[in-house]
Amino acid sequence: METLILSVVLMSYFGATAIWLAYLLIQQERLYRYGVWVMGGGWMLHTLNLILAVMEQGYFPGASLGQALRLFSWTLVGTFLFLTWRHPIRVLGTLVAPLAALTLTGSLILPQPGPVAPLLQSLWLSFHIATALLGNATFTLAFMGGILYLVQEHQLKSKKFGFFYRRLPSLEALDALNYYCLTIGFPLLTAGIITGSIYAQYTLGSFWRWDPKETLTLIAWLIYAALLHERLAVGWRGRRAALMAIIGFLVLVVTFVGANLWLQGYHSFESFVRQP
């Protein structure tokens, strides 16, 4: 049952990718709407899958890299759908859909973990995972917006207008996306850090242990804090804000994936599950 649901979800994410790529090429309004329906339908099923998992286990399944990736693709699509409702930037779908599809594929390819360590079987920890991943998803959207901003800004500055000029939204809209994601993502990331350290205090006896993942997250948090402050205080916007969003995201990627593969620490996914 679980595999069936997930493969339908995967198909719908890939389907939305194909539809939105076609939308990018031929710019037919209709296609964009179809994409939203396909994506939305897939996300509903994805949500159902998660609810079933939580009901079965009693906590969020996020202890292995595979599970975390699956959860990430869910939060990414969810935040994107929320965003299209509040702040539509259509071309963003063409980036979000393939990323969601690929992360979900990755989660299905990666080996299924054994039972989770008892330390992590807690609902409180689920808050930590949910807020941190929602923050990550929001910053992923900010990163994509940043890339699009740089492309569009380059065309306007160099006065050479290519394939993307007509297909990308205005600079103002992309910059507004950056701000919007920042104001949502920053509190989420902060909440993720706070809930995590409270849980660490309860279970491990210390709030902060300077583990590689914690350190890198702190660096990313500082980058976003600086960007938010400078935006509000001296009006950093446009190019600089886009660059900061990109750098912050790269740090997050290292935190999320790299820290598990290259760096060893108590926070890496391997240490979460009992090795079979």
Partner 1 sequence: MNLVLLGINHRTAPLEIREKLAGGLQDLSAGYQALRHLAGLKEVLLYSTCNRVEVLFTTADPPKTVPRVQTFLINLADLPTEEQERIMYIHQEGEAVQHLFRVASGLDSMVMGEPQILGQVKEAYRLATQQQATGAILNRLLHKTFFVAKRVRSETGIGCQAVNVSYAAVELARKIFGTLTNKTALLVGAGEMAELAVEHLKRYGVSQIIVANRTLERALKLARRFRGDAISLAELECQLLRIDIMISSTGATEQILTRDQIKKAMRLRKQQPLFLIDIAVPRDLDPEINTLDNVYLYNIDDLQGIIEVNRRYRQQEAVRAERIIAAEALKFLQWRESLAVYPTIIALQKKADQICQHELKKTLSQLGPLTPAQIKSLQVLTQSITHKLLHDPILYMKRNHHPKDTSREINYIRRLFNLDQE
> Which residue blocks in the chain are alpha helix, DSSP H?
2-26, 29-57, 65-86, 93-109, 123-158, 171-204, 212-234, 238-253, 259-261
- Find the shortest distance in angstroms from Cβ 32 to partner 1: 15
Nearest residue (CB) to partner 1, 71 versus 141: 141
Sort 34 into a burial class: Cβ within 10 Å, 0-12 / 13-18 / 19+: middle
Of the two residues 27 and 203, which places its CB atom closer to partner 1 in the complex?
27
Least distance (Å) from partner 1 to the CB of residue 147? Answer: 17
Question: Could you tell me the sign of the dihedral formed by the alpha carbons of 256, 152, 23, 82, in that order?
Answer: positive
**In angstroms, what is the minimal distance from the CB of 153 to partner 1?**
9
Query: Residue 146 corresponds to which tokens in the numbers above?
Result: 């940043």
Identify the residue whose tokens are 């991943």.
133
What minimum distance in Å lies between the beta carbon of 230 and partner 1? 10
Task: Name every residue whose Cβ is closer than 8 Å to that of residue 178 and which is 6 or more positions away in sequence.
Answer: 142, 145, 146, 149, 237, 241, 242, 245
Euclidean distance between CA atoms 41 and 207, whole angstroms = 40
* Beta carbon of residue 138, minimum distance to partner 1 (angstroms, whole number): 21
Least Å distance between CB 172 and partner 1?
Answer: 4
User: 156: how many CB neighbours lie within 10 A of its CB?
Assistant: 12
Helix axes 123-158, 238-253, angle to 10 degrees: 140
CA distance 44 to 29: 23
Instruction: Say what angle helices 29-57 and 2-26 make with each other, to 10 degrees.
Output: 160
Question: Given the complex with partner 1, which of 164 and 207 has the nearer CB atom?
Answer: 164
User: What does DSSP assign to residue 116?
Assistant: B
Quick count: other Cβ atoms within 10 Å of Cβ 264? 13
* Nearer Cβ to partner 1 (240/274): 240
> Which of residues 24 and 134 has its CB atom nearest to partner 1 in the complex?
24
Nearer to partner 1, 2 or 172 (CB): 172
Residue 161 or residue 266: which is nearer to partner 1 going by CB? 161
Interface residues with partner 1 (CB under 8 A)?
Answer: 152, 156-157, 159, 161, 165-166, 169-173, 234-240
Could you tell me the smallest distance in angstroms from the CB atom of residue 15 to partner 1? 25
